[in-house]
Amino acid sequence: MAASQLMSLFAHPQVLAWRDRLVPAELGMGWAPFVSLSYLTFLFLPVLVPRIAGATWLPMTLLATLVFLPLYFRAYWAQGRETVLLIIAMSVLAMPLASLNPFSNTFVIFACAFAPHLASLRNALLLALGVTAGFSLFILAIVRGAPLTVGITYLVGAACFVGSYFMRENQRKQVALRLSHEEVRRLAALAERERIGRDLHDLLGHTLSLITLKSELANRLWDRDPHAARQEVREVERVARDALSQVRRAVTGIRAAGLAAEMVSAKLLLESAGVAFHYELGREPPPPAIETCLALAVREAVTNIQRHAEASRATARLMSEGDDLLLEVQDNGRGGDIVPGNGLSGMRERLRALGAELSVDSVRGQGTRLCVRVPQACLAAAEGELVRAH
């Protein structure tokens, strides 16, 4: 129960907003920067062995920690020269504390972890080596400290540098992947607009030309041969109605969204956000009107998973259950109370108009399951409308 309450607290919107004010949300690091602060506990190890520290080590350590925290959180927002200055400030903070607290090198190790935030790996290495060497010389020449402290600083600092470097590289790759997906979607939308333009031109160009010619002919015949003019007007009406029917069919096709394409798009979106996604289309797609509605339901559910669920995996299945059609989208995210937004409300209304049912089950800490059930009667009615349209 306590774990569930703790998870609920960390998922509270105000807590998340406070977190995002300290660490940029676009980095996608979640609570990791706050967990990393647990390494500050090394500064307080002299509590266990008081004889190895000076008499005033505790107040000085607390003061140094209070100075360090603003530097730490600012480093996540900084770039270029500001990052260099913050890293140097972190390492310098360890020096006056070194004679009182043998674990003051913790600040230098944090500085090494931030060095890979620089754009150049060469500059990051030089900076990390520089702050570590400066602290080491201070320990050996001024404080007359133990060489073991220097060795630990180099060893742990190098490990943190490497880990931080690979983490930053992974973040950069994820950003590049998101940008490439956005570019693919933009190009696909542009190609679709061009195709629609060509289709409408091919569809309406000849018809509108024919309407124009027949209208001109009817106008010329109006006084000489009213019967022939009325015949041409009736022909214009017939051609216009036929064109309207063709445009409606074309627009229906444009609006239609395919489930298979939507599942592939969902997989790209979720896996670029670090969520493993598996889908199954266990039966033939339903009629276009129902397929479009289900595809939009998948899109809305996947968007919610990507934005809010904090899940590591998700699944989607289209299957038959008796005579009914069942679509299920499930994740293992944080779950909890569902606040219906415009997307969920719109989805429910679209499905209700078809006669389908939407249910959402969400258990805190266990994820969310969205289920759409389309009764056999709705499938039969949609197939009947499709036959009549053709």
Average pLDDT over residues 316-334: 88
Lowest-confidence segment of 162-176, 237-251, 260-274 by average pLDDT: 237-251
Phi, psi (degrees; rounded to nearest 5) at 218: -60, -40
Phi, psi (degrees; rounded to nearest 5) at 328: -130, 130
Phi, psi (degrees; rounded to nearest 5) at 206: -65, -40
Sign of the C-alpha dihedral, residues 162, 163, 168, 174?
positive
Q: Between residues 263 and 114, which one has the greater pLDDT?
A: 114
Residue 106 CB coordination number (10 Å): 26
> Smallest Cα–Cα separation from 95: which of 132, 55, 59?
132
Cβ-based neighbours of 318, under 8 Å, separated by 6 or more: 259, 280, 281, 282, 283, 285, 294, 325, 326, 327
Rounded-to-10 torsion of CA 243, 246, 252, 255:
-70
Structure confidence at residue 1 (pLDDT): 42
Residue 221 scores a pLDDT above 70: yes
- Distance in Å from the first CA to the final CA of the chain: 59
- Helix, strand and coil content of the chain, in percent to the nearest 5, comes to 75, 10, 15
Structure confidence at residue 208 (pLDDT): 77
Residue 34 scores a pLDDT above 50: yes
Average pLDDT over residues 369-385: 79
Structure confidence at residue 126 (pLDDT): 94
Tokens of 367: 């994820």
Any idea which residue has 């059609």 for tokens? 325
> Smallest Cα–Cα separation from 77: which of 27, 36, 126, 32?
27
Is pTM beyond 0.85 here? no
In total, the chain counts a number of residues equal to 390
Q: Which helix (H) or strand (E) holds 319?
A: strand 313-321
For helices 147-224 and 226-255, give the axis angle rounded to 10 degrees.
Answer: 170
Q: 50-54, 324-328, 361-365: which has the highest mean pLDDT?
A: 324-328
Would you say 161 and 112 are in contact if contact means Cβ atoms under 8 Å apart?
A: yes
**Parallel/antiparallel/unpaired status of strands 357-363 and 324-331:** unpaired
Average pLDDT over residues 320-326: 85
Sign of the C-alpha dihedral, residues 30, 31, 32, 37?
positive
Any idea which residue has 């444009």 for tokens? 254
